[in-house]
Amino acid sequence: MTVNNVMTVEKPADQAVEMRTLTYREAVREAIREAMKRDERVFLMGEDVGHYGGCFAVSMGLLEEFGPARIRDTPLSESVFTGAGIGAALGGMLPIVEIMTVNFSLLAADQIINTAATLLHMSGGLFNVPVVIRMATGGGKQLAAQHSHALEGWYAHIPGIKVVVPATLEDARGMLWPALMDPDPVLIFEYSTLYNMKGELPVEPVAVDIDKAVVRRPGQDVSILTYGACLFKALKAAEELAEDGIDAEVVDLRVLRPLDDETIMRSLRKTHRAVIVDEGWRSGGISAEIATRIMEQGFYELDAPVARVCGVEVPMPYAKHLEDEALPQPHEIVAAVRETLG
């Protein structure tokens, strides 16, 4: 069976699914390997992706497996190699462009925003740009102000691209292939604090929907809407709230453009309260967009104002205790939920 261009294997209900343990980093590497084996047009390009194995060791071993024609080290020039990836996509290839961190993607903003996102429109519908651009995002690793910000909300503002943020191992492995099959540019943001996270995955590939949010924890009293590394902070907060009889539903948005309004509103109709958790800055951020959509589409479902827990509006500090203060934490989510519940 094929779902969203991802091959899945149907098994009898009584047959156990074979599982194995691996890290988020390994799940992303496996996704790249599977895509390259499936289609010879797929190749990976970026800074240090080859001999060094990637700055977060995601592509370790792929150069030896696939060779320098398909695992391509590039100069330290994001504008150049992102533009080359766009050109390769226009030429019929399926490039995976890796940018070390989201902060560095600003050096390729012209290529992403003015070229990849607009070519279909500017060409009168003649030219799609099926490029996938992966990048690390978020703080929590003491990489300071030029390597640690969560800017995916900025890109979610741009028509013509899709923005996905895999938080779980299943999504880290399963989102890449449907992203490559999308005719338009897809930006994949991988939270750097998740690369070492371990978990179990089926041996066989599993289909992942890159258009829909997903409820990670059902609940009745309040909806916690989040994505990326904050998902696990929200789940931890939900467990703490459950000890006091508060039943929180946790929704993993995982797709920031286009936002899945249907799943958000369905959760709101059940709980009538919403807390949005976003590592990005509050002012003009994705949390403000989500809150506004709730007001526009679900105002009369609300029993309390929408609450937000966001990153502190400062350049990311280097010192660990200050970095922790700048990022949303479970206790802040708990406090926001309690206030929402009155």
The residues annotated with a catalytic role in the active site are: 78, 147
Map residue 323 onto helix, strand or coil: helix
Helices and strands per DSSP (H, E), number in the chain: 14, 16
**In terms of residues, how long is the chain?**
342
Closest by CA to 72, choosing from 104, 105, 36, is 36
CB atoms under 10 Å from CB of 124, counted, come to 7
Beta-ladder partners of 191: 137
Distances 183 to 119, 188, 210, 258, 262 between C-alpha atoms, Å:
12, 15, 13, 15, 24
Distances 253 to 160, 262, 279, 281 between C-alpha atoms, Å:
19, 11, 13, 17
CB atoms under 10 Å from CB of 212, counted, come to 13
Closest by CA to 29, choosing from 7, 59, 73, 6, is 59
Residues 6 or more apart whose CB falls under 8 angstroms from that of 223 comprise: 248, 249, 251, 264, 267, 268, 270, 271, 273, 274, 275
Report the alpha-carbon distance of residue 247 to residue 244 in Å, rounded.
Answer: 9
Sign of CA dihedral 274, 277, 278, 283: positive
DSSP structural state of residue 192: G
One-letter amino acid for residue 32 of the chain = I
